[in-house]
Structure 1
Amino acid sequence: MDEIIEFLKSSFKTKEFYSRDKQTLKNLIKAKKPSNHELNVLRSQFFELAQNDSSDAETIRLVTWLEEINKCLLPVKDKNEVENRCYFSPGDDCENAIVSCIRNAKHSIKICVFTISENVITNEIIAAKKRGVSVTIITDNDKLNDKGSDIRWLADEEVRIRIDESSSHMHHKFCIVDREILLTGSYNWTKSAADRNQENLLVTEDPKMVKAYLKEFEKLWDVFVDF
Protein backbone atom coordinates (compact mmCIF):
# COMPACT_ATOMS: atom_id res chain seq x y z
CA MET A 1 0.00 0.00 0.00
CA ASP A 2 2.86 2.41 0.73
CA GLU A 3 3.99 2.41 -2.90
CA ILE A 4 0.46 3.17 -4.10
CA ILE A 5 0.09 5.99 -1.56
CA GLU A 6 3.42 7.58 -2.50
CA PHE A 7 2.58 7.40 -6.20
CA LEU A 8 -0.79 9.09 -5.67
CA LYS A 9 0.70 11.76 -3.40
CA SER A 10 3.25 12.55 -6.11
CA SER A 11 0.44 12.86 -8.65
CA PHE A 12 -1.56 15.04 -6.26
CA LYS A 13 1.29 17.55 -6.00
CA THR A 14 1.18 18.21 -9.76
CA LYS A 15 -2.62 17.91 -9.99
CA GLU A 16 -2.07 15.98 -13.24
CA PHE A 17 -3.11 12.42 -14.07
CA TYR A 18 -2.37 11.24 -17.60
CA SER A 19 -3.04 7.92 -19.33
CA ARG A 20 0.42 6.66 -18.40
CA ASP A 21 -0.28 7.52 -14.75
CA LYS A 22 -3.55 5.63 -14.90
CA GLN A 23 -1.74 2.57 -16.28
CA THR A 24 0.95 2.83 -13.60
CA LEU A 25 -1.71 2.92 -10.89
CA LYS A 26 -3.52 -0.07 -12.40
CA ASN A 27 -0.25 -2.02 -12.48
CA LEU A 28 0.50 -1.13 -8.85
CA ILE A 29 -2.95 -2.24 -7.72
CA LYS A 30 -2.59 -5.47 -9.68
CA ALA A 31 0.83 -6.16 -8.12
CA LYS A 32 -0.04 -5.20 -4.53
CA LYS A 33 -3.51 -6.80 -4.55
CA PRO A 34 -5.06 -4.53 -1.89
CA SER A 35 -8.26 -5.80 -0.28
CA ASN A 36 -11.58 -4.00 -0.71
CA HIS A 37 -11.16 -2.69 2.83
CA GLU A 38 -7.72 -1.27 1.98
CA LEU A 39 -9.04 0.34 -1.21
CA ASN A 40 -11.87 1.98 0.72
CA VAL A 41 -9.38 3.35 3.25
CA LEU A 42 -7.24 4.62 0.38
CA ARG A 43 -10.19 6.42 -1.21
CA SER A 44 -11.07 8.08 2.08
CA GLN A 45 -7.47 9.22 2.61
CA PHE A 46 -7.27 10.93 -0.75
CA PHE A 47 -10.65 12.62 -0.52
CA GLU A 48 -9.47 13.95 2.84
CA LEU A 49 -6.21 15.08 1.23
CA ALA A 50 -8.19 16.99 -1.43
CA GLN A 51 -10.42 18.58 1.21
CA ASN A 52 -7.43 19.71 3.28
CA ASP A 53 -5.82 21.21 0.18
CA SER A 54 -8.94 23.22 -0.67
CA SER A 55 -8.90 26.86 0.36
CA ASP A 56 -12.54 27.83 -0.02
CA ALA A 57 -15.84 26.47 1.29
CA GLU A 58 -17.31 25.88 -2.17
CA THR A 59 -14.46 23.60 -3.24
CA ILE A 60 -14.61 21.69 0.04
CA ARG A 61 -18.35 21.13 -0.47
CA LEU A 62 -17.65 19.93 -4.01
CA VAL A 63 -15.02 17.42 -2.86
CA THR A 64 -17.31 16.18 -0.08
CA TRP A 65 -20.15 15.79 -2.59
CA LEU A 66 -17.88 13.80 -4.92
CA GLU A 67 -16.82 11.52 -2.06
CA GLU A 68 -20.41 10.72 -1.11
CA ILE A 69 -21.42 10.13 -4.75
CA ASN A 70 -18.39 7.87 -5.20
CA LYS A 71 -19.47 5.78 -2.20
CA CYS A 72 -22.94 5.33 -3.70
CA LEU A 73 -21.59 4.32 -7.11
CA LEU A 74 -19.22 1.67 -5.76
CA PRO A 75 -20.44 -1.91 -6.23
CA VAL A 76 -22.66 -3.03 -3.37
CA LYS A 77 -21.07 -5.98 -1.62
CA ASP A 78 -23.27 -9.03 -1.42
CA LYS A 79 -23.75 -9.80 2.27
CA ASN A 80 -23.06 -13.45 1.47
CA GLU A 81 -19.85 -12.63 -0.39
CA VAL A 82 -16.74 -13.14 1.71
CA GLU A 83 -13.30 -11.84 0.87
CA ASN A 84 -10.46 -14.24 1.68
CA ARG A 85 -6.77 -13.78 0.98
CA CYS A 86 -3.87 -16.12 1.71
CA TYR A 87 -0.14 -15.46 1.96
CA PHE A 88 2.95 -17.62 2.38
CA SER A 89 6.54 -17.27 3.58
CA PRO A 90 9.52 -17.15 3.32
CA GLY A 91 9.18 -13.69 1.85
CA ASP A 92 7.54 -10.42 2.81
CA ASP A 93 3.94 -11.20 1.85
CA CYS A 94 2.73 -12.31 5.29
CA GLU A 95 4.46 -9.47 7.12
CA ASN A 96 3.19 -6.90 4.62
CA ALA A 97 -0.38 -8.17 5.03
CA ILE A 98 -0.14 -7.88 8.83
CA VAL A 99 1.37 -4.39 8.66
CA SER A 100 -1.27 -3.23 6.18
CA CYS A 101 -4.17 -4.46 8.32
CA ILE A 102 -2.73 -2.82 11.45
CA ARG A 103 -2.00 0.43 9.60
CA ASN A 104 -5.55 0.63 8.27
CA ALA A 105 -7.24 -0.18 11.59
CA LYS A 106 -9.71 2.48 12.68
CA HIS A 107 -11.10 1.30 16.02
CA SER A 108 -9.53 -1.82 17.54
CA ILE A 109 -6.78 -4.41 17.15
CA LYS A 110 -6.97 -7.62 19.18
CA ILE A 111 -3.76 -9.64 18.91
CA CYS A 112 -3.38 -13.19 20.21
CA VAL A 113 0.04 -14.54 19.25
CA PHE A 114 2.72 -16.84 20.62
CA THR A 115 5.38 -14.16 20.37
CA ILE A 116 6.22 -10.81 18.75
CA SER A 117 9.83 -10.06 17.86
CA GLU A 118 9.58 -8.38 14.45
CA ASN A 119 10.25 -4.67 15.01
CA VAL A 120 8.48 -3.62 11.81
CA ILE A 121 5.22 -5.06 13.15
CA THR A 122 5.85 -3.76 16.67
CA ASN A 123 6.40 -0.21 15.41
CA GLU A 124 3.13 -0.42 13.48
CA ILE A 125 1.27 -1.59 16.61
CA ILE A 126 2.69 1.34 18.60
CA ALA A 127 1.77 3.78 15.83
CA ALA A 128 -1.80 2.45 15.84
CA LYS A 129 -2.09 2.96 19.59
CA LYS A 130 -0.72 6.50 19.31
CA ARG A 131 -3.37 7.44 16.76
CA GLY A 132 -6.12 6.30 19.13
CA VAL A 133 -6.79 2.70 18.09
CA SER A 134 -7.59 0.36 20.99
CA VAL A 135 -4.85 -2.30 21.08
CA THR A 136 -4.96 -5.40 23.29
CA ILE A 137 -2.50 -8.30 23.17
CA ILE A 138 -2.58 -11.86 24.52
CA THR A 139 0.73 -13.73 24.44
CA ASP A 140 2.71 -16.60 25.96
CA ASN A 141 4.28 -16.08 29.38
CA ASP A 142 7.48 -18.00 28.56
CA LYS A 143 8.25 -16.53 25.14
CA LEU A 144 8.21 -12.95 26.42
CA ASN A 145 11.51 -13.72 28.17
CA ASP A 146 13.22 -14.68 24.90
CA LYS A 147 16.01 -12.48 23.61
CA GLY A 148 14.53 -10.12 21.03
CA SER A 149 10.96 -10.31 22.33
CA ASP A 150 9.13 -7.00 21.87
CA ILE A 151 6.48 -7.62 24.55
CA ARG A 152 8.21 -5.56 27.24
CA TRP A 153 8.73 -2.76 24.73
CA LEU A 154 5.01 -2.81 23.92
CA ALA A 155 4.16 -2.82 27.63
CA ASP A 156 6.41 0.23 28.11
CA GLU A 157 4.31 1.94 25.41
CA GLU A 158 1.25 1.24 27.61
CA VAL A 159 -0.25 -1.37 25.30
CA ARG A 160 -2.59 -3.59 27.34
CA ILE A 161 -1.15 -7.11 27.52
CA ARG A 162 -2.30 -10.30 29.22
CA ILE A 163 -0.41 -13.59 29.55
CA ASP A 164 -1.14 -17.17 30.56
CA GLU A 165 0.20 -18.60 33.83
CA SER A 166 0.44 -22.24 32.82
CA SER A 167 3.39 -24.49 32.01
CA SER A 168 1.90 -25.14 28.56
CA HIS A 169 2.04 -22.61 25.73
CA MET A 170 -0.43 -20.00 24.53
CA HIS A 171 0.31 -20.99 20.95
CA HIS A 172 -2.37 -19.11 18.98
CA LYS A 173 -1.43 -16.83 16.09
CA PHE A 174 -4.39 -14.66 15.21
CA CYS A 175 -5.46 -11.03 15.13
CA ILE A 176 -8.82 -9.30 14.75
CA VAL A 177 -8.98 -5.79 13.29
CA ASP A 178 -12.02 -3.55 13.82
CA ARG A 179 -14.05 -6.65 14.72
CA GLU A 180 -14.34 -7.23 10.94
CA ILE A 181 -11.06 -8.70 9.68
CA LEU A 182 -9.38 -11.88 10.92
CA LEU A 183 -5.74 -12.80 10.38
CA THR A 184 -4.81 -16.37 11.31
CA GLY A 185 -2.40 -19.13 10.36
CA SER A 186 0.93 -20.67 11.31
CA TYR A 187 2.83 -17.41 10.79
CA ASN A 188 4.69 -16.24 13.90
CA TRP A 189 5.21 -12.49 14.17
CA THR A 190 8.99 -12.89 13.98
CA LYS A 191 11.77 -12.08 11.52
CA SER A 192 12.66 -15.75 11.10
CA ALA A 193 9.09 -16.48 9.98
CA ALA A 194 9.54 -14.04 7.10
CA ASP A 195 13.16 -14.88 6.28
CA ARG A 196 13.37 -18.66 6.62
CA ASN A 197 10.26 -20.52 7.74
CA GLN A 198 7.56 -22.14 5.65
CA GLU A 199 4.49 -20.37 7.03
CA ASN A 200 0.99 -19.35 6.02
CA LEU A 201 -1.42 -16.52 6.81
CA LEU A 202 -5.13 -16.30 6.00
CA VAL A 203 -6.92 -12.94 6.01
CA THR A 204 -10.70 -13.20 5.97
CA GLU A 205 -13.75 -11.03 6.50
CA ASP A 206 -16.06 -14.01 7.04
CA PRO A 207 -18.38 -12.79 9.84
CA LYS A 208 -18.82 -16.26 11.34
CA MET A 209 -15.07 -16.82 11.53
CA VAL A 210 -14.46 -13.36 12.97
CA LYS A 211 -17.16 -13.94 15.59
CA ALA A 212 -15.70 -17.31 16.61
CA TYR A 213 -12.20 -15.90 17.05
CA LEU A 214 -13.54 -12.88 18.93
CA LYS A 215 -15.23 -15.26 21.33
CA GLU A 216 -11.96 -17.14 21.87
CA PHE A 217 -10.03 -13.92 22.39
CA GLU A 218 -12.50 -12.62 24.97
CA LYS A 219 -12.52 -15.98 26.77
CA LEU A 220 -8.73 -15.94 27.10
CA TRP A 221 -8.66 -12.26 28.04
CA ASP A 222 -11.00 -12.98 30.94
CA VAL A 223 -8.88 -15.80 32.39
CA PHE A 224 -5.34 -14.57 31.71
CA VAL A 225 -3.49 -12.05 33.88
CA ASP A 226 -2.14 -8.56 33.23
CA PHE A 227 1.51 -8.30 32.28
Structure 2
Amino acid sequence: MARHEATPTVGTVLAHLEASIADAHLSDAERRELMALLREGATPEEGLRRVRNRAFELVRERLEGIEAMSLLKWLDGVARALDAVRAPADAVRSESHFSPGHACLRAIQQQLRSARSSIDICVFTLSDDRISAEVLAAHQRGVAVRLITDNDKEFDAGSDIDTLRRAGIAVAVDRTAAHMHHKFALFDGQWLLNGSYNWTRSACEVNEENLVVTNEPGLVAAFAAQFAALWQALATSSKVA
Protein backbone atom coordinates (compact mmCIF):
# COMPACT_ATOMS: atom_id res chain seq x y z
CA MET A 1 0.00 0.00 0.00
CA ALA A 2 1.46 3.41 -0.96
CA ARG A 3 2.53 5.68 1.90
CA HIS A 4 0.79 9.05 2.29
CA GLU A 5 2.81 12.24 2.48
CA ALA A 6 0.11 14.01 4.48
CA THR A 7 -0.44 13.12 8.11
CA PRO A 8 -2.33 9.81 8.13
CA THR A 9 -5.91 9.91 9.41
CA VAL A 10 -7.97 7.19 11.06
CA GLY A 11 -9.64 6.77 7.66
CA THR A 12 -6.24 6.03 6.11
CA VAL A 13 -5.60 3.39 8.77
CA LEU A 14 -9.01 1.79 8.21
CA ALA A 15 -8.36 1.64 4.47
CA HIS A 16 -5.06 -0.10 5.19
CA LEU A 17 -6.91 -2.67 7.32
CA GLU A 18 -9.41 -3.42 4.56
CA ALA A 19 -6.62 -3.86 2.01
CA SER A 20 -4.50 -6.08 4.23
CA ILE A 21 -7.28 -8.50 5.17
CA ALA A 22 -7.93 -9.43 1.53
CA ASP A 23 -5.65 -12.49 1.83
CA ALA A 24 -6.54 -13.14 5.53
CA HIS A 25 -2.90 -12.56 6.46
CA LEU A 26 -1.17 -9.60 8.07
CA SER A 27 2.43 -9.73 6.86
CA ASP A 28 5.28 -8.24 8.87
CA ALA A 29 5.51 -5.45 6.31
CA GLU A 30 1.77 -4.70 6.59
CA ARG A 31 1.98 -4.71 10.39
CA ARG A 32 4.96 -2.34 10.35
CA GLU A 33 3.14 0.00 7.97
CA LEU A 34 0.06 -0.10 10.21
CA MET A 35 2.19 0.88 13.20
CA ALA A 36 3.86 3.64 11.19
CA LEU A 37 0.50 5.08 10.10
CA LEU A 38 -0.76 5.04 13.69
CA ARG A 39 2.38 6.72 15.01
CA GLU A 40 2.64 9.32 12.24
CA GLY A 41 -0.97 10.30 12.75
CA ALA A 42 -0.54 10.40 16.54
CA THR A 43 -3.79 8.44 16.63
CA PRO A 44 -5.77 9.31 19.79
CA GLU A 45 -7.28 6.65 22.07
CA GLU A 46 -10.70 7.03 20.46
CA GLY A 47 -9.13 6.43 17.06
CA LEU A 48 -7.35 3.30 18.33
CA ARG A 49 -10.70 1.97 19.59
CA ARG A 50 -12.25 2.65 16.15
CA VAL A 51 -9.45 0.72 14.47
CA ARG A 52 -9.75 -2.23 16.87
CA ASN A 53 -13.54 -2.32 16.49
CA ARG A 54 -13.27 -2.22 12.69
CA ALA A 55 -10.74 -5.05 12.75
CA PHE A 56 -13.17 -7.24 14.67
CA GLU A 57 -15.99 -6.25 12.30
CA LEU A 58 -13.91 -7.22 9.26
CA VAL A 59 -13.18 -10.65 10.76
CA ARG A 60 -16.81 -11.24 11.72
CA GLU A 61 -17.92 -10.32 8.17
CA ARG A 62 -15.56 -12.90 6.68
CA LEU A 63 -15.69 -15.79 9.16
CA GLU A 64 -18.48 -17.65 7.36
CA GLY A 65 -17.02 -19.93 4.74
CA ILE A 66 -13.39 -18.94 5.38
CA GLU A 67 -10.70 -20.65 7.42
CA ALA A 68 -11.16 -19.10 10.86
CA MET A 69 -7.62 -19.49 12.21
CA SER A 70 -6.06 -17.46 9.36
CA LEU A 71 -8.38 -14.57 10.16
CA LEU A 72 -7.74 -14.88 13.88
CA LYS A 73 -3.99 -14.67 13.27
CA TRP A 74 -4.59 -11.55 11.14
CA LEU A 75 -6.66 -10.07 13.98
CA ASP A 76 -3.97 -10.93 16.52
CA GLY A 77 -1.41 -9.10 14.37
CA VAL A 78 -3.61 -5.99 14.22
CA ALA A 79 -4.11 -6.10 18.00
CA ARG A 80 -0.37 -6.36 18.59
CA ALA A 81 0.26 -3.36 16.31
CA LEU A 82 -2.30 -1.29 18.20
CA ASP A 83 -0.88 -2.31 21.55
CA ALA A 84 2.67 -1.49 20.46
CA VAL A 85 1.75 2.16 19.84
CA ARG A 86 -0.73 2.59 22.70
CA ALA A 87 0.65 2.39 26.22
CA PRO A 88 4.21 2.61 27.55
CA ALA A 89 5.56 -0.51 29.22
CA ASP A 90 5.09 0.98 32.69
CA ALA A 91 1.31 1.10 32.09
CA VAL A 92 1.15 -2.71 32.20
CA ARG A 93 -0.23 -3.97 35.50
CA SER A 94 -0.38 -7.54 36.80
CA GLU A 95 -1.40 -8.98 40.14
CA SER A 96 -1.60 -12.45 41.68
CA HIS A 97 -4.12 -13.92 44.12
CA PHE A 98 -4.32 -17.20 45.98
CA SER A 99 -6.85 -19.33 47.85
CA PRO A 100 -8.12 -20.64 50.18
CA GLY A 101 -9.49 -17.28 51.15
CA HIS A 102 -11.47 -14.58 49.37
CA ALA A 103 -8.72 -12.84 47.38
CA CYS A 104 -9.46 -14.69 44.11
CA LEU A 105 -13.21 -14.26 44.53
CA ARG A 106 -12.86 -10.52 45.14
CA ALA A 107 -10.62 -10.13 42.07
CA ILE A 108 -13.21 -11.85 39.86
CA GLN A 109 -16.04 -9.77 41.32
CA GLN A 110 -14.09 -6.55 40.80
CA GLN A 111 -13.46 -7.28 37.12
CA LEU A 112 -17.08 -8.25 36.55
CA ARG A 113 -18.29 -5.05 38.22
CA SER A 114 -15.84 -2.85 36.30
CA ALA A 115 -16.62 -4.19 32.82
CA ARG A 116 -18.39 -1.69 30.58
CA SER A 117 -18.69 -3.25 27.11
CA SER A 118 -17.82 -6.96 26.98
CA ILE A 119 -17.08 -9.99 29.14
CA ASP A 120 -15.89 -13.30 27.66
CA ILE A 121 -15.80 -16.14 30.19
CA CYS A 122 -14.23 -19.54 29.51
CA VAL A 123 -14.54 -21.80 32.56
CA PHE A 124 -14.90 -25.53 33.18
CA THR A 125 -17.65 -24.93 35.74
CA LEU A 126 -19.50 -22.08 37.46
CA SER A 127 -21.31 -22.84 40.68
CA ASP A 128 -20.39 -20.00 43.03
CA ASP A 129 -23.56 -17.91 43.06
CA ARG A 130 -21.60 -14.91 44.35
CA ILE A 131 -19.84 -14.84 40.99
CA SER A 132 -22.93 -15.76 38.98
CA ALA A 133 -24.79 -12.83 40.55
CA GLU A 134 -22.13 -10.43 39.22
CA VAL A 135 -22.23 -12.04 35.76
CA LEU A 136 -26.00 -11.59 35.69
CA ALA A 137 -25.72 -7.99 36.93
CA ALA A 138 -23.25 -7.17 34.15
CA HIS A 139 -25.62 -8.67 31.56
CA GLN A 140 -28.52 -6.65 32.98
CA ARG A 141 -26.63 -3.37 32.71
CA GLY A 142 -25.98 -4.01 29.00
CA VAL A 143 -22.54 -5.59 28.95
CA ALA A 144 -22.18 -8.17 26.15
CA VAL A 145 -21.49 -11.43 28.00
CA ARG A 146 -20.45 -14.71 26.39
CA LEU A 147 -19.76 -17.90 28.33
CA ILE A 148 -17.96 -21.06 27.20
CA THR A 149 -18.14 -24.10 29.47
CA ASP A 150 -18.02 -27.90 29.50
CA ASN A 151 -20.95 -30.28 29.55
CA ASP A 152 -19.41 -32.47 32.26
CA LYS A 153 -20.45 -30.00 34.99
CA GLU A 154 -23.26 -28.18 33.18
CA PHE A 155 -26.10 -29.74 35.17
CA ASP A 156 -24.30 -30.62 38.41
CA ALA A 157 -26.08 -29.72 41.62
CA GLY A 158 -25.38 -26.04 42.22
CA SER A 159 -24.36 -25.27 38.64
CA ASP A 160 -25.49 -21.80 37.56
CA ILE A 161 -25.03 -22.35 33.81
CA ASP A 162 -28.68 -22.96 33.02
CA THR A 163 -29.77 -19.99 35.16
CA LEU A 164 -27.48 -17.68 33.19
CA ARG A 165 -28.61 -19.18 29.89
CA ARG A 166 -32.28 -18.63 30.75
CA ALA A 167 -31.45 -15.03 31.66
CA GLY A 168 -30.40 -14.46 28.03
CA ILE A 169 -26.63 -14.83 28.32
CA ALA A 170 -25.00 -16.48 25.29
CA VAL A 171 -23.63 -19.87 26.37
CA ALA A 172 -21.53 -22.27 24.30
CA VAL A 173 -21.05 -25.78 25.68
CA ASP A 174 -18.34 -28.23 24.68
CA ARG A 175 -20.12 -31.58 24.40
CA THR A 176 -17.17 -33.54 23.05
CA ALA A 177 -15.57 -36.47 24.87
CA ALA A 178 -12.68 -34.20 25.91
CA HIS A 179 -12.93 -31.51 28.57
CA MET A 180 -12.98 -27.75 27.95
CA HIS A 181 -10.88 -27.20 31.08
CA HIS A 182 -9.88 -23.54 30.76
CA LYS A 183 -10.44 -21.05 33.57
CA PHE A 184 -9.98 -17.58 32.09
CA ALA A 185 -11.99 -14.46 31.34
CA LEU A 186 -11.52 -11.27 29.33
CA PHE A 187 -12.98 -7.88 30.19
CA ASP A 188 -13.53 -5.03 27.69
CA GLY A 189 -10.77 -6.55 25.53
CA GLN A 190 -8.23 -5.03 27.95
CA TRP A 191 -7.97 -7.25 31.02
CA LEU A 192 -7.26 -10.97 31.38
CA LEU A 193 -8.04 -13.12 34.38
CA ASN A 194 -6.46 -16.60 34.32
CA GLY A 195 -5.32 -19.35 36.67
CA SER A 196 -6.15 -22.69 38.26
CA TYR A 197 -9.06 -21.17 40.19
CA ASN A 198 -12.39 -22.83 39.37
CA TRP A 199 -15.40 -20.56 39.80
CA THR A 200 -16.75 -22.63 42.71
CA ARG A 201 -17.15 -22.20 46.46
CA SER A 202 -14.72 -25.04 47.18
CA ALA A 203 -12.01 -23.22 45.20
CA CYS A 204 -12.54 -20.23 47.47
CA GLU A 205 -12.99 -21.99 50.80
CA VAL A 206 -10.70 -25.05 50.81
CA ASN A 207 -8.64 -25.51 47.61
CA GLU A 208 -5.10 -24.33 46.97
CA GLU A 209 -5.63 -22.21 43.84
CA ASN A 210 -4.10 -19.27 41.99
CA LEU A 211 -5.39 -16.42 39.88
CA VAL A 212 -3.52 -13.80 37.83
CA VAL A 213 -5.08 -10.54 36.61
CA THR A 214 -3.19 -8.57 33.94
CA ASN A 215 -3.59 -6.03 31.17
CA GLU A 216 -0.39 -7.14 29.39
CA PRO A 217 -1.37 -6.63 25.74
CA GLY A 218 0.28 -9.72 24.29
CA LEU A 219 -1.39 -12.05 26.79
CA VAL A 220 -4.78 -10.36 26.38
CA ALA A 221 -4.55 -10.70 22.58
CA ALA A 222 -3.47 -14.37 22.76
CA PHE A 223 -6.32 -15.36 25.07
CA ALA A 224 -8.82 -13.32 23.02
CA ALA A 225 -7.77 -15.25 19.91
CA GLN A 226 -8.17 -18.54 21.78
CA PHE A 227 -11.64 -17.56 22.99
CA ALA A 228 -12.67 -16.53 19.47
CA ALA A 229 -11.41 -19.82 18.02
CA LEU A 230 -13.28 -21.87 20.64
CA TRP A 231 -16.46 -19.86 20.20
CA GLN A 232 -16.32 -20.27 16.42
CA ALA A 233 -15.67 -24.00 16.71
CA LEU A 234 -18.63 -24.50 19.03
CA ALA A 235 -20.89 -22.32 16.88
CA THR A 236 -20.09 -24.16 13.67
CA SER A 237 -20.63 -27.53 15.35
CA SER A 238 -24.06 -26.40 16.59
CA LYS A 239 -23.18 -26.46 20.28
CA VAL A 240 -24.15 -22.88 21.13
CA ALA A 241 -27.05 -22.87 23.61
Which residue number in structure 2 is paired with residue 93 of structure 1?
103
Matched residue SS, 1:98:
helix
Q: Does 1:80 align with 2:89?
A: yes
- The residue type equivalent to 1:164 in the other structure is D
> How far apart, CA to CA, are the structure 2 residues paired with 1:125 and 1:78?
29
- The residue type equivalent to 1:112 in the other structure is C
Deviations 1:183-212 (A, max 9, x none): 000000000000000000000000000000
Query: How far 1:79 moved relative to its partner?
Result: 1.6
> How far apart, CA to CA, are the structure 2 residues paired with 1:203 and 1:93?
12
Q: 1:201 aligns with which of 172, 196, 211?
A: 211
Which residue number in structure 1 is paired with residue 134 of structure 2?
124
Aligned residues: 151
Matched residue SS, 2:203:
helix
Listed as ranges, the gaps of 5+ residues in structure 1 are 1-76
Which residue number in structure 2 is paired with residue 111 of structure 1?
121
> How far apart, CA to CA, are the structure 2 residues paired with 1:78 and 1:172?
28
Give the share of equivalent positions with the same residue, in percent. 45
Matched residue SS, 1:143:
coil
Deviations 1:57-103 (A, max 9, x none): xxxxxxxxxxxxxxxxxxxx952121000000000000000000000
Deviations 1:123-152 (A, max 9, x none): 000000100100000000111021110000
> How far apart, CA to CA, are the structure 2 residues paired with 1:97 and 1:163?
25
The alignment's C-alpha RMSD in Å is 1.1
Which residue number in structure 1 is paired with residue 227 of structure 2?
217
- The residue type equivalent to 2:240 in the other structure is D
Query: How far 1:165 moved relative to its partner?
Result: 2.2
Q: Does 1:151 align with 2:161?
A: yes
Which residue number in structure 1 is paired with residue 62 of structure 2?
none
Q: Map 1:44-83; keep pairs closer than 5 Å.
A: 79-81=88-90, 82-83=92-93
- Runs (4+) of structure 1 exceeding 2 A deviation are none
Which residue number in structure 1 is paired with residue 187 of structure 2?
177
> How far apart, CA to CA, are the structure 1 residues paired with 2:190 and 2:200?
24
Which residue number in structure 2 is paired with residue 161 of structure 1?
171
> How far apart, CA to CA, are the structure 1 residues paired with 2:155 and 2:178?
15
